Chains A and B, each alone.
Chain A
């Protein structure tokens, strides 16, 4: 019991450290792709320290404060449910469904705060964010359903343990089409290019973040880093076989994240309509065909 509580408290901290390291790596890798030297690896820590020590001059109301905290808390809670290399403090029979619901909680909190800030740019950003979520949730939920059908369970721990045999047991090889579909919507779930129109700095002054400054932006930055961790960790758990220990798990996460960073560094930005047309075409078709195949093989 005591170790379980310790794990519940430790896992978000570990997730936070990994997420911050990934942020630093992403900035360094992007810089090298653009033939720059780039900031030091610990630059996100400097930024967060600075943001947390800044002093806001005004208040946007209680909903603004609570929305950011809700986003941060939602991200921390979601991390506890995702098995991270053999560490799964809150594993129950339906935790995949819980994660699917909780994953929306943390962006929702930031959206709540953005709405409370009463800035038109923030409203535009939030509406774009929800349109994007509408776009990627359809293929992603179909792929998730295919995974549940293939392994016959809604428990993430059991899904991971079913893939532990050899590489051939991995979800990516057992379910190639849903895995490909999820990989195609991964940039949309992470909110990186080409799907970063929800927080486009040049068009709508960074969208939902427009009125966030100082501590609020610090919390939002931590929430964004944790959200990246959640999405990438879920992908590794579902399709890359999870891992038996944390080191392998984080190595696999790093591999997925590296591909995402490369995509982010070289691609331009979609318009909202283009993104929706893309998301509801190829990833959805792939996920649907994969779901039908998985259902037929099972039944």
Chain B
């Protein structure tokens, strides 16, 4: 730790903790998750940045949306996001969550993830290299320092907007109070 870091830590221990301890939800949302194993193992070693994979949403605070988001996956993503404790950050990984990517005309894929969840940052590319995850992490640190990584607050303030969009596309989600159909166990 250099002197500047110690000052920042004393000013806000919570910020310091949330910055350097990003635990990723270990959830394969799409094909991009194939880049995660090299990131967390010996070759790229994400643990030196404090980034660890976690098995359950309750333990994570960084949600990587890795790759295309199909309708069924979106249901699981929303449920996972709702279970994560605050403060939580969402990063779209790859070009598919940004604008649909190569699935831009698919009937079953989400084109704009930020209509359904508040996204704090994007990593463009198909596929992004593992280094891109570290760039995203460092960028997220800067955003947390400036206090602009506030996706979880935006989600609460504009919940009506997000809920309307979610309900429009996934009316059978369990949180909307309907009985789940056999079509989507995960949705």
State whether A201 touches B26 (Cβ < 8 A).
yes
State whether B14 touches A53 (Cβ < 8 A).
yes
> What does the 1/0 interface line of B1-31 toward A look like (CB < 8 Å)?
1000000000001101110110000100000
A46 adjacent to chain B (CB < 8 Å): yes
Q: Which of A35-43, A188-196, A230-238, A277-285 binds B?
A: A35-43
State whether B21 touches A50 (Cβ < 8 A).
yes
State whether B45 touches A57 (Cβ < 8 A).
no
Report B153 CB to chain A, min CB distance, Å.
12
Please give the number of chain B residues whose Cβ is less than 8 angstroms from any Cβ of chain A in the complex.
Answer: 28
Assuming the contacts A50-B21, A205-B56, A210-B55, asked whether A36 and B42 have C-beta atoms less than 8 A apart, the reply is yes
Question: Contacting B47 at CB < 8 Å: which of A38, A48, A52, A55?
Answer: A38
Report B82 CB to chain A, min CB distance, Å.
7
Question: Contacting B59 at CB < 8 Å: which of A40, A43, A57, A209?
Answer: A209
B164 adjacent to chain A (CB < 8 Å): no
When distances are taken between beta carbons in the complex, the residues of chain B under 8 Å from A46 are 16-17, 20-21, 50
Assuming the contacts A36-B47, A56-B85, A210-B58, asked whether A47 and B17 have C-beta atoms less than 8 A apart, the reply is yes
Pick the most buried of A46, A52, A56, A212: most chain B CB atoms within 10 A of its CB.
Answer: A46
Closest to A36 in B: B45
Give bound CA distance, A54 to B61, whole Å: 9
State whether B86 touches A55 (Cβ < 8 A).
yes
Q: For residues 43 through 59 of chain B, which have their beta carbon under 8 Å from a beta carbon of chain A? A: 45, 47-48, 50, 54-59
Closest to A218 in B: B17
Closest to B86 in A: A55
Closest to B15 in A: A53
Question: Contacting A205 at CB < 8 Å: which of B20, B55, B87?
Answer: B55
When distances are taken between beta carbons in the complex, the residues of chain A under 8 Å from B84 are 213
Question: Contacting B55 at CB < 8 Å: which of A47, A51, A201, A214?
Answer: A201
Give bound CA distance, A49 to B8, whole Å: 14
Give bound CA distance, A127 to B41, whole Å: 30
Q: What are the nearest 5 A-B pairs in CB distance?
A: A213-B58, A50-B17, A49-B17, A201-B55, A53-B14
Report A79 CB to chain B, min CB distance, Å.
25
State whether B86 touches A57 (Cβ < 8 A).
yes
Q: For residues 46 through 77 of chain A, which have their beta carbon under 8 Å from a beta carbon of chain B? A: 46-57
Report B150 CB to chain A, min CB distance, Å.
14
List B residues at the A interface (Cβ < 8 Å): 1, 13-14, 16-18, 20-21, 26, 41-42, 45, 47-48, 50, 54-59, 61, 82-87
State whether B55 touches A35 (Cβ < 8 A).
no
> What does the 1/0 interface line of A178-217 toward B look like (CB < 8 Å)?
0000000000000000000000011001100111111001
Assuming the contacts A38-B47, A46-B50, A49-B14, asked whether A54 and B55 have C-beta atoms less than 8 A apart, the reply is no
State whether B87 touches A54 (Cβ < 8 A).
yes
Report A125 CB to chain B, min CB distance, Å.
11
A153 adjacent to chain B (CB < 8 Å): no
Question: Contacting B58 at CB < 8 Å: which of A40, A49, A55, A211?
Answer: A211
Give bound CA distance, A39 to B50, whole Å: 6
A34 adjacent to chain B (CB < 8 Å): yes
- 10 of the cross-chain contacts (CB-CB < 8 Å) are A38-B48, A39-B47, A47-B21, A56-B85, A202-B55, A205-B56, A206-B55, A212-B58, A213-B57, A213-B58
Give bound CA distance, A205 to B27, whole Å: 11
State whether A57 touches B85 (Cβ < 8 A).
yes
Closest to A43 in B: B50
A27 adjacent to chain B (CB < 8 Å): yes
A13 adjacent to chain B (CB < 8 Å): no
When distances are taken between beta carbons in the complex, the residues of chain A under 8 Å from B58 are 210-214, 217
